[in-house]
Amino acid sequence: MSDSPLDWMALANKKAKGKRPEFFDEPEDDRIYSILIALVGEVSVLRTRLDTVERLLDEKGTISRDDIENFAPDREASFERGALIREYILRVMRGPIQAMESLQEQEPPIEDVSRELKKI
């Protein structure tokens, strides 16, 4: 396979085998969710790459593409990046996480609800 941009574009847009998973009642919601997740991934990669650029500039004052491509973060930098990514993902996914948590909340037993309704 050649490295031409069209080959990479074709691979990036290749359809997966099988039925696409459905998470929501409306197909449009699934498509929006898919777009959101793809954008979150892209922004995460950009943030990591920017962190690389900033660290290299702090260290060397000037950088090349090779420096960026060959950068290997040390243990501390890896820990900091991991924390930033976790915080970012949690912030982006706050709404869905809260919705899932609300579904997991325990509802009172029907007997308790019945007793409360009788009081009214």
> What was the pLDDT predicted at 80?
94
Quick one: average pLDDT of 17-40? 82
Q: Which residue has the higher pLDDT, 107 or 50?
A: 50
Q: What is the mean pLDDT of the chain?
A: 84
Model pLDDT for residues 59-110, shown as the tens digit of each residue: 999 999 999 999 999 999 999 999 999 999 889 888 878 887 777 777 777 8
Longest dimension (CA), the chain: 76
Residues 6+ apart with CB under 8 A from 55: 71, 73, 77
